[in-house]
């Protein structure tokens, strides 16, 4: 049933129990309260020393979201460092949940949609976990550091509680807990040079999603060739990070000087160009994988049972029968307007028509930004299934500060995702390159 309440305009969200709040409220100038209810990571004070001037909350932890002030170039200056040099990101908010014990493989195989038995030791995979309705609960990078030990490197949801709840009654012989491991990301075209200085030539042989044990300044770490940017990049997972954060951070800063290393916030403008999704923004627990173009995460031939399997197989059956079990699908958009060089405070509305006014909204933008390489704004957003064909013309209702004509929407077109090739292609890109079906 459609609703014209300002929180949910007229967009059909009958397939959701809790509709996305689509009220266009704009920026809200408030001061964030720093208190003890939200954790500070071991790198928090180091981010402050590096110039962090704003933050959000992610996984119940303060998350740096800006180092370069707007008057000095803001997020686009940080973007320049990422795509031309090398950058250091504080991503300790990627909490590490360890599943360890004789039943670790069986437990992990039960909670992820992909086949955990096919993940070799000292390799990682991008995975999703779903509830019984097939909704996406989290999309972490999963590290297998031993035969009987996995780490879930979390996106923004309380997965620890879910995993512990699944194992109430000790159905699986495993220990499930958060561990004192905090990652940083090293991202950009010079990342390999910097990593080679830190770890030696062996790091150059590390394949995508490969893992390497090493140390930084005498502190033990695990390295993965992964990242949230689409650029060449790595993550360094520091063990006993509460004790050793300063050592790792300062060692990386010193090694980065010859490579023009800059400390920046996670580059959402670059991850959008790479088609990398952000949980809670581009999907949530009421989003089916097929709806967010993650169908490749739902294997057709996984024999073992897993949470959400029945619902996902039924959803695939409906899709193949031409009756999608949802109203909206995530698409890529190229759109007009002035450069969007800041985070969007709202899910901006999408219309199918423009007759002199904004038009009746039929969808919404989840992740917009300006792409310097493409010279225009790009975005991901949800539109009705019948409007997802490439080349479909739409209209986006941008705030006046970005609109060419205040009060009028800008033209948009449905396009392929990713918007530009990635140096580190994600699994969906790899499947497309191989000519395989990544959507269903």
Residue of 10, 22, 23 whose CA lies nearest to 360: 10
Same domain, 334 and 429: yes
Q: How far is CA 130 from CA 148, 296, 331, in A?
A: 22, 14, 21
Per-residue confidence (pLDDT) for residue 439, from 0 to 100 = 40
Which residues sit in the known binding site for substrate? Answer: 235
What is the domain count for the chain? 2
* pLDDT tens readout for residues 43-102: 999 999 999 999 999 999 999 999 999 999 999 999 999 999 999 999 999 999 999 999
Question: By CB neighbour count within 10 A (0-12 exposed, 13-18 middle, 19+ buried), where does 147 fall?
Answer: exposed
Please state the rounded mean pLDDT for residues 432-437. Answer: 52
| Strands of 372-432, DSSP E | 376-384, 393-396, 410-415
Per-residue confidence (pLDDT) for residue 395, from 0 to 100 = 97
In a domain, 419, yes or no: yes
In a domain, 355, yes or no: yes
Per-residue confidence (pLDDT) for residue 335, from 0 to 100 = 98
Same domain, 255 and 335: no
Per-residue confidence (pLDDT) for residue 2, from 0 to 100 = 56
pLDDT value at 428 more than 50 = yes
Using DSSP's 3-state secondary structure scheme, residue 91 falls into coil
Domain assignment of residue 387, given as a range: 327-433
In a domain, 40, yes or no: no
Per-residue confidence (pLDDT) for residue 364, from 0 to 100 = 98
Phi first, then psi, for residue 386 (nearest 5°) are -75, -5
In a domain, 425, yes or no: yes
The residue out of 259, 282, 300 marking a domain boundary is 259
Same domain, 236 and 334: no
pLDDT value at 3 more than 70 = no
The pLDDT confidence band at residue 212, using thresholds 50, 70 and 90, is very high
Please compute, for residue 368, the number of CA atoms within 13 A of its CA located in the half-sphere on the CB side: 29
Per-residue confidence (pLDDT) for residue 420, from 0 to 100 = 83
Which residues sit in the known binding site? Answer: 235
Same domain, 333 and 428: yes
CATH number of the domain encompassing residue 348: 2.40.30.110
Q: How far apart are CA 257 and CA 361, in angstroms?
A: 49
The residue out of 243, 259, 275 marking a domain boundary is 259
In a domain, 214, yes or no: yes
Please state the rounded mean pLDDT for residues 394-405. Answer: 96
H or E element in which residue 110 lies: helix 104-111
pTM given for the model? 0.94
CATH number of the domain encompassing residue 189: 3.30.1360.120
Q: How far apart are CA 176 and CA 244, in angstroms?
A: 23
DSSP 84: H
Q: How far apart are CA 134 and CA 312, in angstroms?
A: 5
Query: What's the token pair of residue 8?
Result: 């949910």
Same domain, 245 and 334: no
The neighbour count for residue 178, using CB atoms within 10 Å, is: 13
Q: How far apart are CA 237 and CA 105, in angstroms?
A: 21
In a domain, 267, yes or no: no
pLDDT value at 425 more than 80 = no
| Chain mean position to CA 194 | 24
H or E element in which residue 69 lies: none
Q: How far is CA 12 from CA 203, 279, 291, 332, in A?
A: 49, 21, 15, 20
Residue 278 and residue 228 in contact, taking contact as beta carbons nearer than 8 Å = no
The neighbour count for residue 48, using CB atoms within 10 Å, is: 13
Query: What's the token pair of residue 157?
Result: 């949801």
Q: How far apart are CA 52 and CA 55, in angstroms?
A: 8
In a domain, 424, yes or no: yes
In a domain, 237, yes or no: yes
Same domain, 332 and 421: yes
The residue out of 259, 282, 299 marking a domain boundary is 259
* pLDDT tens readout for residues 283-317: 999 999 999 999 999 999 899 999 999 999 999 99
* pLDDT tens readout for residues 237-256: 999 999 999 999 999 999 99
């Amino acid at each position: 049933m459609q609703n014209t309440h300002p929180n949910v305009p007229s967009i059909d969200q009958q397939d959701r129990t809790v509709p996305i709040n689509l009220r266009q409220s704009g920026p809200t100038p408030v001061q964030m309260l720093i208190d003890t209810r939200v954790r500070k990571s071991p790198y928090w004070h180091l981010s402050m020393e590096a110039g962090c001037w704003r933050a959000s909350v992610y996984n119940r932890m303060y998350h740096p979201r800006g180092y370069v002030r707007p008057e000095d170039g803001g997020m686009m200056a940080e973007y320049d460092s990422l795509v031309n040099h090398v950058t250091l990101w504080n991503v300790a908010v990627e909490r590490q949940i360890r599943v360890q014990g004789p039943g670790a493989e069986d437990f992990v195989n039960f909670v992820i949609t992909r086949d955990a038995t096919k993940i070799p030791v000292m390799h990682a995979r991008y995975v999703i976990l779903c509830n019984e309705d097939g909704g996406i609960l989290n999309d972490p990078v999963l590290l297998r550091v031993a035969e009987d030990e996995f780490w879930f490197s979390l996106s923004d949801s309380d997965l620890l509680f879910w995993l512990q709840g699944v194992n109430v009654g000790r159905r699986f012989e495993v220990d499930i807990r958060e561990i004192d491991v905090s990652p940083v990301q090293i991202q950009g075209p010079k990342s390999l040079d910097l990593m080679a200085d830190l770890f030696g030539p062996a790091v150059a042989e590390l394949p995508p999603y490969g893992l390497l044990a090493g140390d930084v300044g005498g502190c033990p770490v695990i390295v993965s060739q992964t990242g949230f940017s689409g650029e060449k990049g790595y993550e360094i997972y520091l063990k006993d990070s509460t004790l050793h954060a300063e050592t790792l951070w300062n060692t990386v800063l010193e090694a980065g000087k010859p490579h023009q290393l800059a400390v920046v916030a996670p580059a959402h403008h670059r991850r959008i160009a790479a088609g990398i999704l952000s949980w809670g923004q581009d999907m949530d627990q009421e989003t089916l994988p097929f709806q967010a173009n993650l169908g490749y995460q739902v294997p057709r031939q996984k024999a073992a049972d897993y949470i959400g399997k029945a619902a996902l197989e039924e959803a695939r059956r409906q899709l193949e029968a031409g009756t999608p079990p949802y109203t909206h699908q995530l698409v890529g958009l190229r759109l007009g307007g002035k450069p969007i060089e800041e985070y969007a405070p709202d899910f901006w509305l999408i219309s199918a028509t423009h007759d002199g006014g904004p038009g009746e909204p039929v969808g919404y933008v989840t992740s917009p930004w300006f792409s310097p390489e493409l010279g225009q704004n790009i975005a991901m957003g949800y539109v009705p299934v019948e409007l997802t064909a490439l080349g479909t013309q739409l209209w986006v209702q941008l705030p006046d500060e970005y609109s060419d004509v205040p009060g009028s929407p800008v033209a948009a077109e449905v396009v392929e995702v990713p918007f530009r090739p990635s140096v580190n292609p994600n699994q969906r890109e790899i499947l497309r390159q191989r000519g395989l079906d990544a959507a269903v």
